[in-house]
Amino acid sequence: MPNDTTFADRIERRRFLRLSGAAGAAALAGCSSQEELQGDGGDGGSSDGSDGSDSGDGSDSEDGDDGGSSGGEPIGVGVVIPFSGDLSDFGQPMLNGLRMAQEDINAAGGPLGREIELFDEDSETSSTAGVNAANSLVNTQGVPALIGAVSSGVTISIAQSVTIPNDVLHITSASSSPTISTLEDDDLVFRTRTNDRFIAQVMAQIIEDDGADSAAVLYINNDFGAALADTFEETFGGTTTATVGYESGQSSYQQALSELYADDPEFIAYAGYPESGTTILNQWNEEGYGGNWVLHTSLLSQDFLNNVGAEILDGMYGVRTLPPTGDATSSFESDYADAYPDADLFSPYSWNSYDALVSYALAVHHAGTTDPNAVKESMRPVSNPDGETVSYAEVGDGFDLIDDGTAIDYSGPSGQVNYDENGDVASDMVIVRVEDGEFVDQETVPAGELI
């Protein structure tokens, strides 16, 4: 059962465990082929996934039902995220968040008394590479669960080609396309990231509230971008003058910009990725097209702002999920800074990744097995109301409560992790504006107004 210490005391205990057990934590994290990049905050480089295989395949495919036994082989969890390609900015912050969760879970004894072992692979922001990586993790490492990817198109490809056919539990902490909600997934796909329908609605609201009557949509031509463009057009009360899709990796986007501004829209709603987005917005500025932009969450990193230039983005709006303002979020951010002083925290991807792994570990403990078809039945009971609240750095308390037969309700640094019938979560949204080189919060839009 949880003890009577305060939240602050538990956080202090957690920090002590991290600092005093640094060597042990490094050994646990050694399964990750990105270990050497733990604190560099760079774009991650590529991962071959070969490191960490020395200790066995890390899975339970041989024993099936754990039967509640403790002290068994580590539980392998596959990770397919981008360390290269258009979304490479996100890979390392996500892996850092997963490592923090892994450390907390293992310090608490692990689900069923077994440690979590991470096996990471580079998706390369490519469906082909992502599917190949997932196949390797599932068919070679034998992992019963997989976390990834970032690009919705890559996530959907992995789900349809690998995880669903192989009955592997699949959690994405970053992909946001509405298409994921409607996959024929046999309830194996979950996500700790809000559906993009919310973001598209708020983008439309920003433009309408600014008094603009016209807007165009620029989107990367994949599942993520196309779905957001459709939702924006359905939602926006003014005139959508153009919806323009583009392919990433081009040296020039002048044709797309010309189509976008053919009818002189007052605003651009932009759903894209940082690498191509940097080129697009610099060319927009150089050509003097004018107007204002509303940026998707994926573009709201400090790196992106620095790469494009604060003077170019000044006055632009953005939409992102709003984390809770309580101790869980601030403590996670503080702990992240302590653990990775030279690395970026890219929320929501970092804290959503933490919550993805913790909710999985709690579900395994609740199910008494790593069998994905049993674990999926426990994902909602450990994370949804009603139950005893289990928060950030309290995973050990969650294990104890489950052992005592007490219902729990996990929430973490990303907020409530309440999985609905589609495996989705709903989050409040916050409107931000670029002011003096920073993203400054403007207004919160409750999730209840958007469902």
Residues 72-102 pLDDT 10s: 899 999 999 999 998 998 999 999 999 999 9
Does 217 have pLDDT greater than 90?
Answer: yes
Residues 85 and 176 in one domain: yes
Q: What are phi and psi of 116, to 5 degrees?
A: -90, 135
- Structural domain includes residue 423: no
Percentages of the chain per state (helix, strand, coil), in multiples of 5: 45, 20, 40
The pTM for the full model equals 0.77
Residues 208 and 336 in one domain: no
Cβ burial 96-134 (10 Å sphere, 16+ → b, else e)? bbbbbbbbbbbbbbbbbebbbbbbbbbbbbbbebbbbbb
DSSP letter for each residue of 100-113 = HHHHHHHHTT-GGG
Across the chain, how many H-helices and E-strands are there?
15, 15
Q: Which CATH number covers residue 442?
A: 3.40.50.2300
The C-alpha atoms of residue 117 and residue 47 are separated, in whole angstroms, by 16
Q: Averaged over 436-447, what is the pLDDT?
A: 92
Residues 26 and 174 in one domain: yes
Q: 352: helix, coil or strand?
A: helix
- Structural domain includes residue 1: no
pLDDT of amino acid 44: 35
Confidence of residue 40 (pLDDT cuts 50, 70, 90): very low
- Structural domain includes residue 422: no
- Structural domain includes residue 2: no
Q: 325: helix, coil or strand?
A: coil
Q: Averaged over 278-307, what is the pLDDT?
A: 95
Is residue 224 within 8 A of residue 256, CB to CB? The reply is no
Give me the number of domains the chain comprises. 2
> Where are any strands of DSSP class E within 286-437?
292-295, 317-321, 388-390, 408-412, 415-416, 429-435
Residues 51 and 81 in one domain: yes
Is residue 236 within 8 A of residue 228, CB to CB? The reply is no
Residues 138 and 29 in one domain: yes
Of 348 and 33, more confident: 348
Q: Which of 63-77, 122-136, 222-236, 413-427 has the lowest mean pLDDT?
A: 63-77
Q: What is the DSSP letter of 324?
A: P
Helical pair 349-367 and 327-339, crossing angle rounded to 10 deg? 110
Mean pLDDT, the chain, integer: 86
Q: What is the DSSP letter of 123?
A: -
Range of the domain at 166: 7-195+325-416
Q: 93: helix, coil or strand?
A: helix
Residues 127 and 210 in one domain: no
Q: What are phi and psi of 35, to 5 degrees?
A: -55, -40
> Encoding tokens for residue 270?
């932009």
Cβ burial 309-331 (10 Å sphere, 16+ → b, else e)? eeebbeebbbbbbbbbeebbbeb
> Where are any strands of DSSP class E within 352-428?
388-390, 408-412, 415-416
Does 336 have pLDDT greater than 50?
Answer: yes
> Encoding tokens for residue 82?
């981008």
- Structural domain includes residue 421: no
pLDDT of amino acid 281: 98
**What percentage of the chain has pLDDT greater than the value 70?**
83
CB contact set of 25 (below 8 Å; sequence gap of 6+): 18, 103
Residues 318 and 330 in one domain: no
The C-alpha atoms of residue 80 and residue 159 are separated, in whole angstroms, by 12
Calculate the CA 213 to chain-centre distance. 33
pLDDT tens for each residue of 45-80: 333 333 333 333 444 443 444 444 456 899 999 999
